Structure 1
Amino acid sequence: MNVSGPARVTHASTRAAVLDLIRAAGMISRVGLVNASGLTGGTISTVVRGLIDEGLVAETGHAESTGGKRRVMLQLNHFARYAIGVHLDDARITYVLTNLGGAVVARISRAGAASEEPAAVVARMTREVGALIDSVGVDRDRILGLGLVSARPSEFGLELERATGLPVVLDNDATAAAIGEHWSGGVGATATFAALYMGSDIGAGVVLGGTTHRGPSGHAGEIGHACLDLDGPPCRCGARGCLEVLAGPAAVVARAREDRALTRAAGLVGGRTRPATPVATDFAAISRAARQGNARALALLERSARYVAAAARTLANALDLEVLVLTGPSFAIAGSIYLPVLREELDRAFVARGAHPVSVRLSPSAASAAAIGAAAIVLQSELVPRTQGLRLPDDLAADEPPVFQHAR
């Protein structure tokens, strides 16, 4: 795979490309769209007029004058459309309603569905999605669809679509989190980055030059199965010494249960025996103990962080990453312990550090990243489907003055 050339994003249609340019730029003029897209002024005018008529784009003011006529600025009408994202796991079901820009308008979290039958889970999600919509009072015809991410999304997708009457799209949690970061502007429009996701397991969503990379089977970014010890313990994937079995949340919890003092301090259930509580719940309890100064808990998490950092370095080297975002519910509670360890590792041993650093940061919405990303997948698939077509350039608004004056 060659990622050394200019980063580009391709779109399925002219309309999709123009809408994505406006989204990524935040504010841009028609002239800026012509320069960024390579389309003619007439084509841009026609497409923009259609987007304004649909209510998706609004004229929002003027650029600062540079001596000629001030350019009218365009931006997304963020409240023209909405999307719902649902993250289903054993510990929690998280629901979000986002606007067109990916900002969360409403959010609810409910108990997980570890022991429920699929039909009961679908019925419950349908009621809770209805409650989410009703809490905001948004018209259903302005909701583009529902994104569902879980370990087994196909088990629920079709039935949920029938029950809610909304189009449903499916994906995995790590990829969804990466798309959410990209759509909401958390990273550059054409960046090469990964969202390192840690909930009950560890995975990575990969975006290369602004385009999500899933691989032919949708399993790109399975960093949890990077081998870090050839003679290590067996993993469910069939290999030995994978990151997950050495240092994932389940491994941390298992080691904590072997320590009676830590079991008591963290309030874990069952000691050495496997508790009924989900892994993510027990991992959160250990993380809280570490933050409260428990040295045993802190040592376990720091050990885990060193393994995660080694795997992250391998991922960064293989893909020449510019940005690594830590996200997911386990990073939401333990990110302050993991973040400095990963930063130190990538500052010290990233192969291309002489050319550029890897920016490592914690997502501000790590706890609900998968649900937010699920909604972003709906927005992306409905509004800016990407395929062979027009390209999104690296510099979206280089011709625009940096200061804007809004119309009054």
Structure 2
Amino acid sequence: MVKRTNDGDDTDRPPESGAGPATGSAWGLPPDREPGPETGRAPERPADAVTRRAAGVNLLALRSHNAALVLDLLRTAGPEGVSRLELAERAGLTPQAVSKITARLREEGLATDAGRRASTGGKPRTVLRLIPEAGHAVGVHLDRDELRVVLVDLDGRVVGERRAPLSLGAGAEAVLDALLGEVTEVLSDALGSGALSAPLGVGVALPGPLDHTRGVLHRVTGFPEWDGFPLRDVLAARLGVPVVVDKDTNAAALGLAVGGERGSFACLYLGTGLGAGLVIGDVVHRGARTGAGEFGHQVIQLDGPLCSCGNRGCVEALCLAAMGRGDVAEAARVLGEGAANLAGLLDIDAVLLGGRTIMAAPEPFVRGVAVVLDAHARREGSREGAVPVRLAPGGARAVAEGAAQLLLGPVFGRRDG
């Protein structure tokens, strides 16, 4: 194995989320809620004070790829920890480079001793572990009718949560006020309990389509009034921390990949709408314009019912119509046909099902989709059999937790956060 001698100051850096000035008057935001002309920020809100008081290490400044690699190995090792020699072997780095990186991590309060471990010769080795409470990220699931906010530590463990009803069609001012209020509360609660240190930023996941790179919404299905809204920049200016915006399905898929799901898979998410998060070769696939995964709007019945997107016979419209009639079996069959198209197109390893509608009747959906995929595999004469179908872990918090990983992922070396 080739040893990399870089000590952690290389320029292979994770992408940064933007927090530039925003303009909001076109969406009815009052002037005092827009970024100021001098600083690019609005007048201070309660969230500003909360994030300013939570002092700690600036994890986003740890831009070294090697430092991120070592951090990820420490996280993977868990509370039992790992020795410097083991870190060097697993990372492909020299012991000297690992010693320099771990010294910096200890100095920054990110790593600490976890005891000593007997060695095959010589003195016992010092074992290091990650300090999960050294950093936190906020994850927001902005759904069409509900808002969920979680605060997670570096291990991805949820240490705070808020939930509130919401109407995505209530207008930008009302939606942003609700979001900012819940984020402020979850941060304040954690700060009061002593659990908060160094919020990395806020990840926001919501229905698409949208531009993940710029953090700008497109014509959100059913809510065209959000078209062109610069959600990332508006929130970053209000909160004073980095913000990343992505589709809810991508966030759910990212959470699964971080949680250990390997290979290539599709996370089909059926709630108030239907979409897919795609992971190809362990990496979230967003496409050239970050618009991949609009699974629910593939047309499978040319003269079918009108969909909220304007087309007819979309998988989403057919699924939701079946659920409206109480016909779960038909909804599962339709979802299975869409999944079969996706499996045939991408040759994925697995289909995972999530979302509140599926969580309300998990067994019929898993069974119904599996039956359709099995029938397709038999007709095609597949030697490997049908693509397996499973219920996605994470439950109702899966999207919000995945949204937090949009901030945590780059800290640990992921390039798809």
Q: Distance in 2 between matches of 1:381 and 1:81?
A: 13
- Corresponding residue SS for 1:135: helix
SS of 1:337 mapped into structure 2: helix
The residue type equivalent to 2:390 in the other structure is R
Q: Show CA shifts across 1:191-225 (max 9, x none).
A: 32222212211111112222211111112122212
CA distance in 1, matches of 2:412, 2:381: 36
The 1:29/1:348 distance shift into structure 2, 3 A limit, reads farther
- Looking at structure 1, the residues matched to 307 and 295 of structure 2 have their Cα atoms a distance apart, in angstroms, of 13
State whether residues 74 and 129 of structure 2, in contact with CA within 8 Å, keep that contact through their aligned partners in structure 1. yes
C-alpha distance 195-23 of structure 1, shift in aligned 2 (>3 A): farther
- 2:298 pairs with 209, 226, 236, which one? 226
Secondary structure at the counterpart of residue 134 of structure 2: coil
Matching of residues 188-227 of structure 1 within 5 Å: 188=262, 191-227=263-299
- TM-score after normalising by structure 2: 0.69
> What is the 5 A alignment of 1:239-258?
240-247=312-319, 249=320, 251-252=321-322, 255-256=324-325
Match of 2:6? none
SS at match of 1:145: strand
Deviation of residue 134 (structure 1)?
Answer: 1.9
User: Structure 1-normalised TM-score?
Assistant: 0.71
Q: Give the Å deviation of 1:71.
A: 5.3
2:339 pairs with 1:312: yes
Are 1:187 and 2:261 matched, yes or no?
A: yes
Q: Residue in 1 aligned with 2:406?
A: 377
- Secondary structure at 2:132's aligned position in 1? coil
Equivalent in 152, 176, 179 of residue 251 of structure 2: 176
Count of residues paired in the alignment = 330
Percent identity at matched positions? 35
Equivalent-residue separation in structure 2 for 1:223 and 1:24 (angstroms): 33
1:14-72 per-position Cα deviation (integer Å, ceiling 9, x unaligned): 22233234434545443443333322222222223222322223443566766887655
Contact 1:195–1:204 (Cα < 8 Å) also in 2: yes
Q: 1:207-356 maps to which residues of 2 (within 5 A)? A: 207-235=279-307, 240-247=312-319, 249=320, 251-252=321-322, 255-256=324-325, 297=326, 300-347=327-374, 349-350=376-377, 354-355=383-384
In the alignment, structure 1 residue 111 sits paired with structure 2 residue 165: yes
1:101 matched to 2:155? The reply is yes
C-alpha distance in structure 1 between counterparts of 2:381 and 2:89, whole Å: 32
Query: Which string of whole-angstrom CA distances, capped at 9 and with x for unpartnered residues, describes residues 269-307 of structure 1?
Result: xxxxxxxxxxxxxxxxxxxxxxxxxxxx2xx11101011
Cα offset, 1:347, TM superposition: 4.9
CA contact (8 A) 1:199 1:330 kept: yes
Structure 1 unmatched runs, 5+: 1-9, 257-296, 388-408
Equivalent position of 1:288 in the other structure? none
- What is residue 200 of structure 2 aligned with on the other side? 144
| Residue 63 to residue 319, structure 1, CA distance change in 2 (3 Å) | farther
Is the CA contact (8 Å cut-off) linking 1:322 and 1:357 kept in structure 2? Answer: no
Indicate how the Cα distance of structure 1 residues 228 and 11 shifts in structure 2: closer, same or farther if over 3 A, else same.
farther
CA deviation after TM superposition for structure 1 residue 97, in Å = 0.7
Q: Secondary structure at the match of 1:125?
A: helix
| Residue in 1 that maps onto 2:75 | 23
Residue of structure 2 in register with 1:53 after alignment = 107
Determine if the alignment matches structure 1 residue 44 to structure 2 residue 44: no
Give the letter aligned to residue 69 of structure 2: A
Higher relative contact order (CA 8 A, sep 6+): 1
Deviation at 1:177, TM superposition (A): 0.7
Quick one: structure 1 residues 309 and 302, their matched pair in 2 at CA, closer, same or farther if it must change by over 3 Å?
A: same
Q: Does 1:360 align with 2:416?
A: no
SS in 2 for 1:79: helix
Q: CA 1:327–1:65 in 2, change beyond 3 Å: closer, same or farther?
A: farther
Structure 2 Cα separation of the partners of residues 349 and 357 of structure 1 = 8
1:206-264: CA deviations, max 9, x gaps?
Answer: 122222111111121222123323443454556543211222x3x235x52xxxxxxxx
The 10-residue stretch of structure 1 (69-78 or 238-247) with the greater mean CA deviation from structure 2: 69-78
Contact 1:144–1:382 (CA under 8 A) maintained in structure 2: no
Q: Partner amino acid for 1:302?
A: A
Shift of 1:173: 0.2
- 2:249·2:269 contact (CA, 8 Å) conserved in 1? yes
Check the 8 A contact 1:313/1:349 in 2, yes or no: yes
Q: Compared with structure 1, are the counterparts of its residues 132 and 170 closer, same or farther at alpha carbon in structure 2 (3 Å cutoff)? A: same
Query: Alpha-carbon deviation of 1:11?
Result: 7.2
Query: SS at the partner of 1:217?
Result: coil
Indicate the residue corresponding to 2:185 in structure 1. 131
Deviation, 1:385, is 5.0
Instruction: String of CA shifts for 1:89-140, please: whole Å, max 9, x gaps.
Output: 2311111111111121111110113443312322232222121122222576
Query: 1:11–1:385: 8 Å Cα contact kept in structure 2?
Result: no
Structure 1 counterpart of 2:281, one-letter code: G
Distance 1:192 1:172 in 2: 19
